[in-house]
Structure 1
């Protein structure tokens, strides 16, 4: 006589009454394996030949294109579209454009603070025929695109803030699982080149976003919002279709527990010190970098004293210069990092280069200094973004067993500065009434980021 008792989709006991003791002992011996944390989903390695190599190239192109467009969207909206739209609204209704922009960015950052690691953790547990990451990437970009299109129609600060919050939350819910794709599919020793291409795509996309944003802002601001709203969904969908993820329906997973789910977001810096140093280094780097990026348009207008139309043009020229330098820097540094199997020296040196870039406008208050700054920033930031991602994947706890969640936690180091820098910049300007103090603070943060990478031990 036999019967089955099902306890969960992953676990069941098959009892034979005549041999119950033997079966019970066998099931107990397998219990630890049944509840062991699931390993990261594996794909064809980079080193494969023939079709495996083609799949890797297709994956790299798909992921790079997706990141490029996503970063282009972010930079165009944050650095050009929103400042222009805020200025239009405040000029019509009254108000301080700097203070209003600071409030908007603070509210958005509060809502997006934890959504990347949350989406990453949920994607780790997602079981579907489309895989773990694809449903989040496609769904997030669709909702984000619709909300972004609505931003274009807003004539009040409340409406603008509301729809940008929805768009930012949805897009970040897609970005967390998107970031987890790198440790999912690329073996560790090859991540320098992969990270180099993705870093070049990110920085190149961000620069192209500013170029395009500055160009279209003088023509049709709403069309710019529509372009990115439709484009981000189309690019993400095409990326997932051309680079299909394996089904995750058969992957095991631990029983769900709300307490365990939320406590896992805390990664102890004492237990995983390298993860802590990497997080801190990225945090202060983006604190310094984003401070200048977020106020770049107002720096051109209020510090360099350019007109609205001229500043929209110059910001595009700066972005073009930066684009050329960062693509060269990202690809070359990624190749050298893999060849030498070194990460830390590249991240440290790139941070110092970026800090030196801010010295030019600090001591020369003219257009030429801003153009020089753009070129030097491109050189340093391209190297930093290409190697920093590879370094981050090598300090993940438990060798990336929960890559979606952990990469999302690391991305808080990108998001938190975005929440801080705009009100921080407004505070610095209110106290000092000078953008010189903003540059000095940015230099200090970027140099500090280089110092925080030095103690990392598990990565050369």
Structure 2
């Protein structure tokens, strides 16, 4: 295999010497290392394709687990306690994500490896997916099940951070919209691809887990090989304990727009988590599907979700770029998503539920088209974006822990001695959260 090309990037003090003429009057502004990299080497042909491919592969591994294989494995371990097992595992994985996101993002920003800033974490993500897939297939008990979930989560976290950071590193702001939209859609596209490929194998966990995991590993390794990844020459000073703890924090008073984007995203994704985390159990318990029918039903929901999102997001992204506004689209997306969740809560059968999923997908498509592009414009340190974008990504994952912690109590609302689960309450509360998240984006002042 050819050794990946790693451009050598000088420090900011030396970067003005690049090319025949100075890039800019150094008395006014010295190009940053990232600016020097962009001036020295443009991304390889197909850069966006390979970045999106990596996110699709990671989405295949993570979402096929979240939507199907974790439920099947938990049911195999203990059918009566499957909901509890999933709640425990999702809660722990969500807590791990809260710490892993800023840590991995900060380490990537500070990396001075001869392989570059981002490439080592692509290799680490591939290794984590591999170990998680093996453990999920072979887990003999709940704690090994949880360990498998954690490794899959780390692989997905690393991929999400690196792909977004690569876009911020290598593309100027006016070229990030389409790339950001497709990276955001990488997760549902991966869910569709992984589920569709594995579906013919029924309930056999080996291909159901192995095929999506292989897709993730191959896609990450390919991206690691093809990217131009800058290697900065200067060395970072060691950080104090206070500075290390600071990677988990962005001051909301100093950076109120960043805080508003974070809050909005967290509330919207709480609604998404209410549906995604308990969809399989809902279809079994409330809609009345049999375990053998679950894989096909999940595939149909993923097809609807991905198809509608893909049909909507590119057009909305272009329209948003043309109009120069983001916030109205985010508010509209949140209201649509909330309406879809209420519709799902009232679904009497799978056909109606599938229509509700289409409404949710419409909201997600509009949201994915603009939200990440807005987030890249409010990060406190554009030169080192991975850590701050990782904190934004916490808002994708914190809802998993919140919903997992609250779901047992919400599902028990109004349930008498006959038992059962109140999924309607869970979905309606998720809808309210999503709508509140849409209104929270209106507090962003530095962007429209």
C-alpha contact (below 8 Å) 2:55/2:159 kept by paired residues: no
Structure 1 segments (4+ residues) deviating >4 Å: 36-43, 210-213
CA distance 1:244–1:126, change in 2 (3 Å): same
Per the alignment, residue 105 of structure 1 pairs with: 90
CA distance in 1: counterparts of 2:263 and 2:218, whole angstroms:
35
1:287 is displaced (CA, Å) by: 0.8
Cα distance per residue 1:42-75 (max 9 Å; x no partner): 5448xx9xx95xx465111011111111122211
CA distance in 2: counterparts of 1:358 and 1:212, whole angstroms:
28
Find out whether 1:240 has 2:224 as its counterpart. Answer: yes
1:206 is displaced (CA, Å) by: 3.1
Alignment partner of 1:156 out of 141, 145, 149: 141
Find out whether 1:128 has 2:110 as its counterpart. Answer: no
Alignment partner of 2:101 out of 90, 107, 116: 116
Alignment partner of 2:387 out of 392, 405, 412: 405
Alignment partner of 1:226 out of 180, 189, 210: 210
1:170 is displaced (CA, Å) by: 4.3
CA distance in 2: counterparts of 1:322 and 1:435, whole angstroms:
20
Per the alignment, residue 26 of structure 1 pairs with: none
CA distance 1:364–1:79, change in 2 (3 Å): closer
CA distance in 2: counterparts of 1:197 and 1:102, whole angstroms:
30
CA distance 1:125–1:375, change in 2 (3 Å): same
CA distance 1:243–1:389, change in 2 (3 Å): same
Alignment partner of 2:288 out of 291, 305, 314: 305
Q: Which protein is bigger by CA-based radius of gyration?
A: 1
1:104 is displaced (CA, Å) by: 1.3
C-alpha contact (below 8 Å) 2:101/2:390 kept by paired residues: yes
Number of aligned residue pairs: give it.
418
CA distance 1:343–1:217, change in 2 (3 Å): farther
CA distance 1:199–1:177, change in 2 (3 Å): closer
C-alpha contact (below 8 Å) 1:277/1:456 kept by paired residues: yes
C-alpha contact (below 8 Å) 2:44/2:228 kept by paired residues: no
CA distance in 1: counterparts of 2:318 and 2:214, whole angstroms:
34
Per the alignment, residue 19 of structure 2 pairs with: none
C-alpha contact (below 8 Å) 2:164/2:180 kept by paired residues: no
Per the alignment, residue 63 of structure 2 pairs with: 75
Q: Which runs of 5+ in 1 are unaligned?
A: 1-8, 11-32
C-alpha contact (below 8 Å) 1:199/1:330 kept by paired residues: no
Per the alignment, residue 205 of structure 1 pairs with: 190
Per the alignment, residue 16 of structure 1 pairs with: none
Alignment partner of 2:254 out of 247, 252, 271: 271
Per the alignment, residue 339 of structure 1 pairs with: 322
Cα distance per residue 1:13-37 (max 9 Å; x no partner): xxxxxxxxxxxxxxxxxxxx9xx99
Find out whether 1:180 has 2:165 as its counterpart. Answer: yes
C-alpha contact (below 8 Å) 2:102/2:248 kept by paired residues: yes
Cα distance per residue 1:319-371 (max 9 Å; x no partner): 11222111111111121122222211221111111111123233332112111
